[in-house]
Amino acid sequence: MGELAVDKHVRYIISVEKRKDSFESVVMEHLRMNGAYWGLTTLDLLGKLNAVDVDEVISWIMKCQHESGGFAGNAGHDPHILFTLSAVQVLAIFDKLDVLDVNKVANYISGLQNEDGSFSGDLWGEVDTRFSYIAICCLSILHCLDKINVEKAVNYILSCKNLDGGFGCTPGGESHAGQIFCCVGALALTGALHHIDKDLLGWWLCERQVKSGGLNGRPEKLPDVCYSWWVLSSLIMINRVHWIDKDKLVKFILDCQDLENGGISDRPDDAVDVFHTFFGVAGLSLLEFPGLKAIDPAYALPVDVVNRIFFSR
Ligand code: GRG
Ligand code: ZN
């Protein structure tokens, strides 16, 4: 088996955070909160979270909170449900959820639920099953699922299920592995996985593995490291992960490393970024690669963090 260049990836993640004028940092400026979640969760999975200054991170996160209770991608920007989940996840990783006014955050999220059970991403209203997952994951972490109509939320997700067993972003939308992760994750977190035809969906998902061992996001598309997360986590949640060739997928992910400067790319020889570095390491964690912390496929957080949220109160 190849090697995971742990120290190089740690150095790469820390350097992206520090080099505020680099290309990647500038592109990331408006979604820095997502970047913080990807980078910090990766460090935690690698056992290197102690390389960051906790107080600095927490005080920056709290500067990104808006009076509505939602969080923005960076200080001074508009709040969005996407960044709100990332902020809550990072606080959970550092065991700092107690700095939150939980009701305020939960009210922001429940205010985004629509009459048909779906969720908008922000006040401007775009609806997507991504936001259903985010709302449910975030409220579950905060022990506040009772703030929304879970039955309607589940029924909306089921209305996005397709005949091929997959799910799309809205009713009738094409099945896509990213949306499938969101819908399966949301159903897992609400105890509603019995609505899924596991063999049918498992078959669609395992067909995502191509010759190189990598996974694509839908038929005829190129493989991409991030689908190691979207597809694999879904297969695990429906107990069908043994339907893919794990060794070939491990090799594909390891082949996407930049062995000189650290980081992982979407495909071998492409440029690395923090997003794919996270999904590569998270994918390897799901594949039980040695030396990595285990990650929870539904919460997308290290298993020890999830256990602390639910078993240490
Ligand atoms: C906590 C892990 C976590 C996620 C939060 C934001 C979110 C919830 C989920 C996003 C799910 C999603 C839609 C992922 C897909 C992202 C992606 C690689 C899209 C690219 O789609 P195309 O069509 O690329 O541009 P393909 O691969 O189909 O060619
Ligand atoms: Zn990708």
Is residue 1 in a domain?
Answer: no
pLDDT digits (tens, 9 = 90+) for 188-227: 999 999 999 999 999 999 999 999 999 999 999 999 999 9
Identify which has the larger pLDDT, 296 or 30.
296
Inter-residue contact 258 to 17 (CB < 8 Å): no
pLDDT digits (tens, 9 = 90+) for 276-313: 999 999 999 999 999 999 999 999 999 999 999 999 86
Inter-residue contact 92 to 301 (CB < 8 Å): yes
Instruction: Say what percent of the chain tops pLDDT 70.
Output: 96
What does pTM read for this prediction? 0.97
Nearest Cα residue to atom 19 of ligand 1: 178
116: CB partners within 8 A, 6+ apart: 152, 156
Handedness of CA 193, 198, 204, 206 (dihedral sign): positive
Q: Residue 134 pLDDT more than 80?
A: yes
Handedness of CA 78, 124, 133, 266 (dihedral sign): negative
Q: What is the DSSP letter of 5?
A: -
Residue 298 pLDDT:
98
Sorting pLDDT into bands at 50, 70 and 90, what band is 20? low
Residue 313 pLDDT:
60
Q: Residue 25 pLDDT more than 70?
A: no
Is residue 191 in a domain?
Answer: yes
Q: What is the ipTM of this complex?
A: 0.97
- In the structure, which protein residues have their CB atom closer than 6 angstroms to any atom of ligand 1? 82, 130, 133-134, 178-179, 181-182, 217-218, 221, 224, 226, 230, 300
Is residue 69 in a domain?
Answer: yes
Instruction: Flag the least confident range among 19-23, 31-35, 91-95, 286-290.
Output: 19-23
Is residue 297 in a domain?
Answer: yes
Burial of 257-278, coded b for 16+ CB within 10 Å and e otherwise, reads bbeeebbbbbeeeeebbbbbbb
Q: Residue 19 pLDDT more than 80?
A: no
Identify which has the larger pLDDT, 152 or 51.
152
Is residue 304 in a domain?
Answer: yes
Is residue 182 in a domain?
Answer: yes
Instruction: Please report, for the domain that includes residue 102, its CATH number.
Output: 1.50.10.20
pLDDT digits (tens, 9 = 90+) for 42-100: 999 999 999 999 999 999 999 999 999 999 999 999 999 999 999 999 999 999 999 99
Inter-residue contact 2 to 255 (CB < 8 Å): yes
Nearest Cα residue to atom 24 of ligand 1: 217
Give the mean model confidence (pLDDT) for residues 139-165.
98
- The range of the structural domain enclosing residue 48 comes to 6-311
Of the residues 230, 266, 274, which should be mutated to test ligand 1's pocket, given the most ligand atoms within 8 Å of the CB? 230
62 CA from centroid of ligand 1 (Å) = 27
Is residue 267 in a domain?
Answer: yes
Q: Residue 26 pLDDT more than 80?
A: no
| Tokens 């949301």 sit on residue | 186
Nearest Cα residue to atom 9 of ligand 1: 130
Distances (CA, A) of 305 to 19, 71, 233, 237, 284: 29, 21, 17, 18, 18
Residue 124 pLDDT:
82
Number of domains in the chain: 1
